[in-house]
């Protein structure tokens, strides 16, 4: 009987009889949360020289390292950058927390040169400035599309590009869409003409009748017409008597 009581007491003591409660695990020091790198790239396909501004949406980060894929870097929260040469580049963001732990995310951007690729006539005036038909024989105007760089100093347009759209336009043909036989580079490196202002004239000319090369209309516009999400764009050039749509792509 005494042996049984002895063993019961031992078991009771081992299970905490008369002993102190078990100490909790040691409290660890405050540990920085892991960072999550993230950024929004609103410009996916851009012309050479175009300034991109990726928007940093990282969390739990205190320091940033950007790599733009062309050898340039930045430590800004929301940097700006432009590419001098066409190509496909990988933009990488490293986001660090207080413990120098890092999260990395990358996105791709395509940089190219902008070409005018097509034109659509939505509305034209079939009467000339003196309210007479462009063609006296009633067949309708024969229209040529032209482009000229808008030079500084007010010089007359130097029409560097000519393309005949078609003969004998009638109202029933509108809207008339035309794809250029040879796309014209309008923004990028190594243009084959002087572009001092970054602006262009876009014009229509009537090329038939006793007097050829008659101006129908022309207007100017800046090159800021790019849809940088998809790489092509449309620029409308409406006037009271004419409405023309231009199409551009980035290669």
Q: Is 37 left (phi over 0), alpha (psi -120 to 50) or beta?
A: beta
Per-residue confidence at 212, pLDDT binned at 50, 70, 90?
low
d(CA 24, CA 197): 75
Instruction: Give the pLDDT band of residue 226 (cuts 50, 70, 90).
Output: confident
Rounded to an integer, what distance in angstroms lies between the CA atom of residue 223 and that of residue 125? 26
- pLDDT tens figures, 65-102: 999 999 999 999 999 999 999 999 999 999 999 999 99
- Asked if pLDDT for residue 244 goes beyond 80, the answer is yes
pLDDT at 208 over 90: no
**95-143 pLDDT per residue, tens:** 999 999 999 999 999 999 999 999 999 999 999 888 989 887 778 999 9
Are residues 204 and 119 in contact, defined by beta-carbon separation less than 8 angstroms? Answer: no
Average pLDDT over every residue of 233-239: 93
Q: Say yes or no to pLDDT of 198 above 70.
A: yes
What are the residue ranges of helices labelled H in the chain?
2-14
The reported pLDDT for the residue numbered 4 is: 41
Q: For the chain, give the percent of residues with pLDDT over 90.
A: 65
Contact 56, 78 (CB under 8 A): yes
User: Domains of the chain, with CATH numbers?
Assistant: 39-112 (2.60.40.10), 114-250 (2.60.40)
């Amino acid at each position: 009987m005494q042996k049984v009581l002895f063993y019961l007491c031992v078991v009771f003591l081992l299970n905490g009889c008369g002993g102190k409660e078990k100490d909790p695990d040691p409290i660890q020091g405050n540990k920085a949360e892991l960072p999550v790198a993230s950024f929004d790239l609103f410009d996916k396909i851009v012309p050479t020289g175009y300034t991109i501004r990726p928007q940093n949406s990282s969390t739990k980060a205190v320091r940033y390292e950007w790599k733009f894929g062309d050898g340039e870097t930045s430590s800004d929260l929301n940097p700006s950058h432009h590419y001098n040469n066409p190509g496909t580049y990988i933009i990488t963001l490293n986001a660090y927390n207080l413990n120098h732990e890092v999260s990395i995310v990358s996105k791709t951007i395509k940089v190219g040169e902008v070409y005018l690729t097509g034109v659509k006539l939505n509305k034209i005036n079939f009467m000339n400035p003196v309210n007479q038909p462009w063609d006296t024989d009633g067949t309708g105007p024969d229209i040529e599309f032209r482009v000229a760089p808008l030079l500084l100093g007010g010089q007359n347009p130097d029409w560097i590009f000519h393309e005949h759209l078609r003969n004998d336009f009638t109202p029933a043909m509108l809207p008339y869409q035309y794809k250029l036989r040879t796309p014209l580079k309008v923004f990028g490196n190594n243009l084959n003409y002087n572009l001092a202002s970054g602006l262009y004239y876009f014009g229509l000319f009537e090329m038939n009748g006793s007097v050829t090369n008659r101006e129908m209309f022309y207007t100017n516009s800046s090159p800021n017409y790019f849809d940088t999400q998809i790489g092509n764009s449309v620029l409308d050039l409406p006037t009271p008597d004419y409405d023309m749509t231009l199409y551009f792509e980035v290669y």
